Chain A
Amino acid sequence: MTSPGALALATRGLRKKYGSRVALDGLDLSVPAGVVYGFLGPNGAGKTTTMRLLTGLLHPDAGSIELLGRPFSARDRRRLFEVGALVESPSFYPYLSGRANLRELAAAGAPVPRNRVEELLELVGLRERANDKVSSYSLGMKQRLGIAGALLSDPTLLLLDEPANGLDPAGIVAMRETLRHLASIGKTVFVSSHLLAEVQVLADVVGIIAGGRLVREGSLDDLLTSEAVIRVRVPGTSSEAAATALAPIGATTPMDGLPGDGAEVWLRVHAAPERAADVNRALASAGIFASGLESGSDLENLFLQLTGGEAQPGSEGTFQGIRQ
């Protein structure tokens, strides 16, 4: 177990190229011990490449990795004895049962107590189907088995690549509870995801990656505070006057994407949620009456702006949708 305040995982200047394409371009991660860290980014941002490097599947072109306070390289594989990982889609011998797959996986790497496989089958809810061949499992069942595989050695650091893939809603809730429980007993959970909502409900600390670089990192609370906004709906004809009236409270910009009835527009005021009353008062003083007012975080907007708004160089791009 790492000491409080220590880093469970750190990368410095991590760089990886596939041919001429840069997948990671100097990644600097700092993952505190004992937290759930959400590693957020769009498809092709470099999340899976990072996971592969952290588990020794790939060799970095440059940079360094520290796992649990000690340098990690291809020559020091035993570092991974304290790490559990689910990288990309779960992989198993299709002709073996779920139980046999876990048992054979336990034969590699760190020693595993004899009853650990049964405990994990119970934990992920696969005991009833444990003797069935994995080839008959659904995607969600394979994912659960993959999570069980990652937990085999009771790892101090858990690396999970898109763990919610294929899980049903109940499974996602159970997985969240398990990961939160692990963090509460001092383990570190590093979860990559392209789903902001998933990370928001799960993580203590968030890192956002785009184009192979870390573009934002910090505690979720700090990020939510720094991106706090108040949204206000005013008549379209008064929007400029409203922006002027609200300027002393915070920068005010028009919003797209939230429902309006055509005659009204939404404005975004960058201010803490507790200033909502001030916003209302300022508008009333200017003779403008808001028909809607809500406060919250603009993390999603930040995420889109940093990652999905435009395809990053070297990324897979994003789904464009139908535009009229």
Chain B
Amino acid sequence: MRLFLSGLRKLRGRPASLVTVCLLLGLLVLIIIATATVSQRSSGTQAQRVLVLVTFPAAYDLILSFMFGLGGLFAVIYGAAIAGSEWSWGTLKNAVARGESRSRYMLLSFAAIAVMIAIGLVVTFVVGVGAAIVGAKVAGVSTAGLGDSDTLGRLPEEFARGWFAVTEEAALGFAIATLARSQLAGIGAGIAFYFGETFATIFLPDIVKYLPFAVARASVNIGGAAADAANAGGPGAAAALPADTALVLVGVWLVGSLVVALGFSERAEITG
């Protein structure tokens, strides 16, 4: 428990944690406010379509889609940064030299990352909803749908699925950086994998739909029309797996990534 709490304290004080959440939040708020402002100057079908972003209850799904989409990329980077720095800075060496189990140390470090991701997503969602309410006021759109019981009833499950998917993407970055034993190499490889998978969708959709980022996206696609809309045209959208199947595969990728990371850590020779 003390190792897990230590992991949380280390992440709380880490600039990368704050920067990642602020970046996600900043982009979300910027898009919402820009949408609201632009819609004031437009009219017709185009304006109505844009206004969905600040119209509740659809705004809930759009905010979640944004969080789980871009958040996935950020999670890969974040996971890679945390795991890679343990090797780059030599802090894993310190723990091992004190008799700490390597796999336990890495597993609890990742557990702390998962908790930080949950906190970051909650903060982003709350601020995003707040921004959408402000956007609705600016655009002169009613916020009557804010308390839509059907949507609010779905939110916990959507949120849990999204957190699970984003955590899986962080695990992937975590594993890549562990194999690379480097922050920069891990981040670079994670980003390359993210965009590589997206690009490969054009040529190999039937294969890519089983890959980690595609299953993460598919697993959160459980109902909201806005979520579907957000994913439409996105990678793997045409060949996406059913949400529940994708959720199982998210678990497989998550566990697989951690097994690779922990197994490698256990066997690796720690130098430097």
Contact = CB atoms under 8 A, between A and B. Distances in A.
A91 B98 CA distance: 13
B5 to A, nearest CB: 7
B144 interface: no
Interface stretch (A36-44, A81-89, A167-175): A81-89
Interface residues of A, number: 34
Interface stretch (A100-108, A213-221, A281-289, A313-321): A100-108
Contact of A77 (B10, B89, B91, B99): B99
Interface string B97-113: 11111000100000000
Contact of B3 (A55, A107, A149, A153): A107
A303 interface: no
Nearest to B267: A59
A94 B97 contact: no
A100 B13 contact: yes
Nearest to B88: A91
B153 interface: no
Nearest to A89: B90
Contact of B99 (A79, A91, A94, A149): A79
Interface string B78-102: 0000000100011101111111110
Interface string A49-92: 00010011111000000000000000001111101110111011
A77 B100 contact: yes
A109 interface: yes
Nearest to A149: B94
B269 interface: yes
A80 B96 CA distance: 9
Contacts of B100: 77, 108-109
Nearest to B91: A91
B94 A91 contact: yes
Contacts of B10: 93, 96, 104
Contact of A56 (B15, B90, B96, B271): B96
A57 B91 contact: no
Interface string A90-123: 0111111000100111011110000000000000
B41 interface: no
Nearest to B98: A109
B270 A80 contact: no
A235 B93 CA distance: 58
B96 A57 contact: yes
Contacts of A85: 97-98
B260 to A, nearest CB: 19
Given A96-B10, A100-B13, A108-B100, A88 B272 contact: yes
Contacts of A80: 97-99
A105 B10 CA distance: 11
Nearest to A94: B89
A21 B272 CA distance: 17
B101 A77 contact: yes
Interface core residue of A91, A96, A153 (most chain B CB under 10 Å):
A91
A206 interface: no
Nearest to A55: B97
B49 interface: no
Contacts of B269: 52, 57-59
A54 to B, nearest CB: 9
A85 B270 CA distance: 14
B97 A107 contact: no
A104 B112 CA distance: 14
Contacts of A94: 89
Contacts of A242: none
Contacts of A81: 98-99
A299 interface: no
Interface string A148-163: 0100110000000000
Contact of B6 (A77, A104, A152): A104
Contacts of A84: 98
A110 B15 contact: no
A91 B90 contact: yes
A169 to B, nearest CB: 27
Given A87-B93, A93-B91, 12 more contacts: A52-B269, A55-B96, A56-B99, A58-B269, A77-B101, A83-B99, A85-B97, A85-B98, A91-B93, A105-B98, A107-B6, A108-B95
Interface of A: 52, 55-59, 77-81, 83-85, 87-89, 91-96, 100, 103-105, 107-110, 149, 152-153
- Lowest 9 A-B CB distances belong to which pairs? A91-B90, A109-B98, A80-B99, A107-B6, A108-B95, A108-B100, A55-B97, A57-B270, A109-B99
24 contacts: A52-B270, A52-B271, A57-B97, A57-B270, A58-B270, A77-B99, A78-B99, A79-B99, A80-B97, A81-B98, A85-B98, A92-B89, A92-B91, A93-B10, A95-B13, A96-B10, A104-B6, A104-B10, A105-B94, A109-B98, A109-B99, A110-B98, A152-B98, A153-B98
